[in-house]
Amino acid sequence: MVRNLLAIGTVIAFFATIASAAAGSYFGIRAALNVAPDGPRRWIVKVWRLNAILFPDELSASGQQYRLRYLRALIAVLCSGAAMAAFAIALSKAS
């Protein structure tokens, strides 16, 4: 009974991790595509446009909103990944 509940929790946490990672990827790319109107000022953003997400002042207003959503999705990925690991460890220890 307990093993079944732990297995279900592990599967749910796995799917939550995958969904959060997919959403985070989408928001990260959308944020990087919304560079400020005056163009990239840092050389690292000029070399690779996706680096704009590292610098909030390189993004437009909508890009900053997508960056915030990206960071929230990243936190969700980390939390659900930790929950998945905890469930998996508990499942391996359960008798």
pLDDT in tens, 51-68: 999 999 999 999 999 999
State how far the alpha carbon of 71 is from the alpha carbons of 11, 43, 55, 59, 86, in Å. 24, 23, 13, 14, 23
pLDDT number for residue 49 = 87
The tokens 């959403």 sit on which residue? Answer: 23
Number of domains in the chain: 1
Position 37, amino acid:
P
Residue range(s) defining the domain that contains residue 7? 2-93
Q: Which residues of the chain have pLDDT under 70?
A: 95
Give residue 39's pLDDT. 80
Predicted TM-score of the model (pTM):
0.86
Give the ranges where 1-95 is alpha helix by DSSP (H): 2-33, 43-47, 61-93
Distance CA 64, CA 27 (A): 10
